[in-house]
Amino acid sequence: MTLPISAPLAPMLAKAQPEVPRDARWVYEPKWDGFRAVIFRDGDAVHISSRNALPLERYFPELVAPLRDALPARAVVDGEVVIAGPRGLDFDALQTRIHPAESRVRMLAEKTPARVVLFDMLATGDDDLRDTPLAERRNALLRGVTTNATVGITPQTADSGEAISWFERYEGAGLDGVVAKDARSTYQPGVRGWVKVKHLRTVDCVVGGYREAKGGGGIGSLLLGLYKPDGVLQHVGHTSSFNAAERREIFQRLQPLVGGGSFGYGRTPGGPSRWARSADAAWTPVQPSLVCEVSFDHLQGDRFRHAARFLRWRVDKEPRDCTFDQLTPPDEFSLDEIVVSGT
């Protein structure tokens, strides 16, 4: 490729804040829950580079032709590869697409086709746009991209009230939250120059076990569960947000409960992982009698994608009251209701 920007290119990033910033310099976009991708097109050649420089066109071959149709003949754009399922964005389905067998890649491309949502134009023709303001790059994106059924453009607003509405309403489509960007800012690869505000919800969970801290000194993490309608306690994640004194105190608190049956029939901790096969999976079951409230940012299927944050013990709540009913999903939206299309 003979573009003004060469692959790989580290994408510009965002730092987390608890609230949506509200002064006049900001514009806002939904935060997409997918694989970040910087896309290079030079004539017939299309390269989709992941955040860690993985060639995503290898795993998402169905994206190549629609991107070739949508993008200018020579361009570099920033966006997100997503899969839209019947209940919004499906990150589980996205992960299964990273597979070494070409035959399976082709089968999954037909069964769970991906889409691309674009949000920045970094180069067009011989022009490197990274040093131009975001507002100008946005205009170049809207002028240069011809959207189709597979390639769309993220919405953007300068109205913080509308952004907060997106934050609240679009969670049902699987969106992560809101990203705020300075409309005057240049594109700075690898720099956390944007702001992200992610969904944060709380839930009461049963402590069904623990892992010890490496090298001793108390617990490393508490293993959390919720009861299914059939009465089975299913592992949903863990929390490890404790200081050294708390790790020792909680370890002692759990010792009288060691050996109790907890996750014996549902999903259990320490199952095989495609991403960390060599990780230490040893854990200690405890009698499921303690309840704690935790916060989490995203529910992936029926488990927490990331570690939950411990908030407090709930001595006032019965373990059997800790059910999946607490996780009632918000209103659902389809991807087509959100992306900018038809340009």
Phi/psi of residue 218, nearest 5 degrees: 115, -160
Check whether the bond before 11 is cis (ω within 30° of 0).
no
pTM: 0.74
Are residues 219 and 280 located together in one domain of the fold?
A: yes
Does 256 lie in the same domain as 134?
A: no
Same-domain status, 37 and 71? yes
Residue 31 catalytic?
yes
Residue 35 within any structural domain of the chain: yes
CA 312 to chain centre: 26
- Say if residue 141 is in the same domain as residue 254: no
Whose structure tokens read 């067009």? 124
Q: What is the CATH number of the domain that holds 305?
A: 2.40.50.140
* pLDDT attached to residue 273: 37
Are 23 and 134 members of one domain? yes
- pLDDT reported for residue 266: 54
Predicted confidence (pLDDT) at residue 277 exceeds the cutoff of 50: no
- pLDDT at 265 (0 to 100): 61
The Cα diameter of the chain in Å comes to 69
**Does the pLDDT of residue 85 top 60, yes or no?**
yes
67-81, 99-113, 195-209: range with lowest mean pLDDT:
195-209
Instruction: Indicate whether 113 and 262 sit together in one domain.
Output: no
Same domain, 91 and 174: yes
Same domain as 270, residue 193: no
**CA-CA distance, 288 to 280, in Å (whole number)?**
23
Taking only the tens place, the pLDDT of each residue in 95-127 is 899 999 999 999 999 999 999 999 999 999 999
Q: What tokens were used for 290?
A: 């303690």
Q: How far apart are CA 152 and CA 169, in angstroms?
A: 20
Which own/partner contact pairs does 317-321 have at CB distance under 8 Å and 24+ positions apart? 317/204, 317/291, 318/291, 319/206, 319/227, 319/288, 319/289, 319/290, 319/291, 320/227, 321/204
pLDDT at 185: 96
pLDDT in tens, 147-200: 999 999 999 999 999 998 888 788 767 787 899 999 999 999 999 999 998 877
Last residue of a domain, one of 198, 225, 260: 198
3-state secondary structure labels for all residues of 71-140: CCCEEEEEEEEECEECCEECHHHHHHCCCCCHHHHHHHHHHCCCEEEEEEEEEECCEECCCCCHHHHHHH
Backbone angles phi, psi at 260, to 5 degrees: -70, 150
Last residue within a domain, chosen from 198, 227, 244: 198
Q: Do 134 and 29 have their domain in common?
A: yes
CATH code assigned at 67: 3.30.470.30
CB-based contact 51:81 (threshold 8 Å):
no
Residues 96 and 141 in one domain: yes
Domain that residue 249 falls in: 201-327
- The active-site residue, picked from 31, 111, 181, 196, is 31
Is residue 335, in this structure, part of any structural domain at all? no
State how many domains the chain has: 2
Instruction: Clarify whether residues 179 and 284 are in a common domain.
Output: no
- Alpha-carbon dihedral angle through residues 314, 315, 316, 317, given to the nearest 10 degrees: 60
- Kindly state whether residues 158 and 251 are assigned to the same domain: no
Tell me whether residue 41 is in a domain.
yes
Q: Are 228 and 234 in contact (CB under 8 A)?
A: yes
Residue that wins the pLDDT comparison between 270 and 15: 15
Torsion of CA 239, 241, 246, 249, to 10 degrees: 10
